[in-house]
Structure 1
Amino acid sequence: MPPRLQVDRLTRRFDGAPVVDDVSFQVEPGQVACLLGPSGCGKSTTLRIIAGVDMQDSGRILVDGQLICDTDFRIPPERRAIGLMFQDFALFPHLPVRDNVAFGLPGGFKANRDRVGDLLERVQMTRHVDSYPHQLSGGEQQRVALARALAPRPRILLMDEPFSGLDERLRDGIRDETLALLKDEGTAVLLVTHEPQEAMRMADQILLMRRGRIVQQGAPYNLYNAPVDRQAAGFFSDINVLTGRVQGALTDTPFGRFLTPGIPEGAEVDIVIRPQHLRIDFDRAGQGPAPTAENGTAALARVTRARYLGRDSLVEFATDAGAITLNATVPGVFLPPPGTPMWLMLRRDRVFVFPRG
């Protein structure tokens, strides 16, 4: 069975510079895939090409195994069975909710009363059926826009930063409601966002983009726990970085030696660990914990600042020589005063080693 959406070697150039560069991926029916990356990396351009409002310079797009677009053949946007949902919702201000949802359906609201009513019930907007967009909150407008996008039963739904305009306190709940409805409909979804947490929360598959190319794709768990490079690791969370040089497939650090197989002799490497995986132990008259296979060698550092962030505390450290600064997050309240000596260790199973550059 072919994938619902297949993008094959898509390229788009502006003024000779590639904005989308040899992009390929697939989305299955009922799957939520997320194009994730910083602003300007080519996410929205990729979405526009799939929707049919922009044209690629090379590559092709297939839906259910059928070609909808290459450089010679192009099905018009309105005939692609692809729905669109934008950041600003794009509701028609002169139409009530019922007619906004029914817009584009043959016969309008009168001929599709049951479908419109069902969708409004599922997005909890039945009591607003006669309201106009200006009478709705941002979250309510988002629900109406989702119902309208799903009303024609599109095979694919494209969503461009659909939650970025919502209040942060509402966002998680509305995202969860949206995801549940999309799963019920069995629609293949391609979501564009620059927020890693949104991608982790919603996506079955993340496509991490950088400078027009997909640098890594897979399940959220895999991208978070096996990043392809330092930039990928840092995109999903704060990181600590140590630098070193390979000697005999090993790199020496104040925290012991790290294996660096496959990296050329003498090459510089980045040793990366997230703040939550830094282990902390108290100083005992200048004595620290013994080295272990799990945590390596402990290094003495001093607290430079500690802040309580709500769920956890962020503690900043500097080694005695001052050459290395590291951040650690600790659950709950942990606020040692500046200057407090503590021993730090790096969980070896949570360390990433990448060639530098």
Structure 2
Amino acid sequence: MEIIGFDEGTRVTGETPRLEIRNIRRQFGGRNVVNDVSLSVMPGQVTCLLGPSGCGKSTTLRIIAGVDDQDGGEIFIDGNLISDGATRVPPEGRSVGLMFQDFALFPHLSVSDNVAFGLKGTRTEKRLRVRELLEKVGLTRFLDAYPHELSGGEQQRVALARALAPRPKIMLMDEPFSGLDNRLRDGIRDETLSILKEENTAVLLVTHEPEEAMRMADEIALMRHGRIVQRGAPYNIYNAPVDERAAAFFSDVNVIRGRVQGALTDTAFGQFLAPGVPDGTDVDIVIRPQHLKIDFDRGGQGPSPTPDHGVWARGIVDRARFIGHESLVEFRMEADGSRLKAAVPSVFLPKEGTKLWIAIRRDRCFVFPAEVKRA
């Protein structure tokens, strides 16, 4: 394999992605850990690789950083080929910053020396850059302190300053906030994102937490079994999931099983359209708990159908819990014994055995062909 340098003078400007990977593949023990992954990140854009543990997120990050080699595919930075299996720019030549869950600060070096580590230039230039970054992260008072004297959140900010010090074009972040206390995490994430945007750095963030991806990302790439199964803006990927598992990754879901006849599926909540699905196909109608509507049982046949919610069906309360910002009510449906969950704002705790009418937001339902689910 030829080791080549990175030509700063040939950088492509304009609409060229800061980072682009094409058809990256990596095998371990004959298993495809990363399987034909492609994505691009523009300057100042934050893209999240989101997925469960073991889906190939971190391996993809290591390949981009140059600390692992791909078995196939290409990596470009500013339009320049840096790795394709035949040629390879070493990690130190890629202008890539790295941040991990373990901040990996040098315990024997002061905060300023940690941030300056790896910086090139005169002593004065290094000192000015260190002070500039420590001001951005609000830690100038700890210039001469050592890592063990700092809190976890302060150490994280030092690690960010150190990663930004050489002005990398790309920042790769692997679960960088998972070690922080929940009370600190949101604030630290917002501060970090603001600084990275200010530096116009392209960011690729690995996380298994949907909330973190939704909070930080301009684009989410959802991974499963080594592949990207869906890419898009957080709003779009949440509201138009590609399949049932994609929907369920972002929140609890209810699943109503039905069978298609004449492009329609009969359920206790009325008929649902299933266009293009062959007759006799089993389908899953997926609905999030917050999109169920509840009304009290006053006898009779229940509320009248509406265009938004369709037919009402009766459920019997199994359990109700208050979880801080909402109540979660679990039902056993009277018609077929199936179970559904409803999320209700504020405090709503009906007693076990209470009969209530339930309807579902039809415009918030997803209809997918039923599939055999893998872990």
User: Structure 1: 5+ residue runs without aligned partners?
Assistant: none
Q: 1:12 to 1:327 in 2, by over 3 A?
A: same
- 2:27–2:71: 8 Å Cα contact kept in structure 1? yes
- 1:244–1:251: 8 Å Cα contact kept in structure 2? yes
- Aligned with residue 283 of structure 2, among 258, 269, 283: 269
Give distance in 1, aligned partners of 2:215 and 2:297: 39
- 1:102–1:109: 8 Å Cα contact kept in structure 2? no
Aligned amino acid, residue 223 of structure 1: I
Quote the residue 1:333 is aligned against.
347
Q: Sequence identity of aligned pairs in percent?
A: 69
Quote the residue 2:133 is aligned against.
119
- SS of the counterpart of 1:112? helix
- 2:134–2:158: 8 Å Cα contact kept in structure 1? yes
- 2:314–2:335: 8 Å Cα contact kept in structure 1? no
- Aligned with residue 75 of structure 2, among 61, 67, 85: 61
| Correspondence list, 1:89-100, <5 A | 89-100=103-114
| Correspondence list, 1:124-203, <5 A | 124-203=138-217
Give distance in 2, aligned partners of 1:172 and 1:327: 28
> How many Å apart are 1:133 and its aligned residue?
0.6
- 2:296–2:356: 8 Å Cα contact kept in structure 1? yes
Quote the residue 2:7 is aligned against.
none
| Correspondence list, 1:317-332, <5 A | 317-321=331-335, 323-332=337-346
- SS of the counterpart of 2:223? strand
- SS of the counterpart of 1:243? strand
| Correspondence list, 1:229-240, <5 A | 229-240=243-254
> How many Å apart are 1:165 and its aligned residue?
0.3
Give distance in 2, aligned partners of 1:318 and 1:170: 39
Aligned amino acid, residue 34 of structure 2: V
- Aligned with residue 7 of structure 1, among 21, 41, 50: 21
Deviations 1:139-193 (A, max 9, x none): 0000000000001000000000000000011100100000110110000000000
> How many Å apart are 1:55 and its aligned residue?
0.4
- Answer yes or no: is 1:28 the counterpart of 2:48: no
Aligned amino acid, residue 316 of structure 2: R
- SS of the counterpart of 2:107? coil
Aligned amino acid, residue 300 of structure 2: G
| Correspondence list, 1:219-238, <5 A | 219-238=233-252
Structure 1 stretches (4+) deviating beyond 3 angstroms? 107-111
RMSD: 1.0
- 1:4–1:28: 8 Å Cα contact kept in structure 2? yes
> How many Å apart are 1:112 and its aligned residue?
1.1
- 1:98–1:109: 8 Å Cα contact kept in structure 2? no
Give distance in 2, aligned partners of 1:295 and 1:133: 56
> How many Å apart are 1:262 and its aligned residue?
1.2
- 2:99–2:159: 8 Å Cα contact kept in structure 1? yes
Deviations 1:113-155 (A, max 9, x none): 1111011011011111111111111000000000000010000
User: Structure 2: 5+ residue runs without aligned partners?
Assistant: 1-14
> How many Å apart are 1:335 and its aligned residue?
0.7
> How many Å apart are 1:111 and its aligned residue?
3.7
Give distance in 2, aligned partners of 1:109 and 1:275: 59
Quote the residue 1:354 is aligned against.
368
- Aligned with residue 102 of structure 1, among 93, 116, 139: 116
Of residues 107-116 and 5-14 in structure 1, the stretch that sits farther from structure 2 once superposed is 107-116
Q: 1:107 to 1:340 in 2, by over 3 A?
A: same
- Answer yes or no: is 1:46 the counterpart of 2:69: no
Aligned amino acid, residue 326 of structure 1: L
> How many Å apart are 1:321 and its aligned residue?
4.3
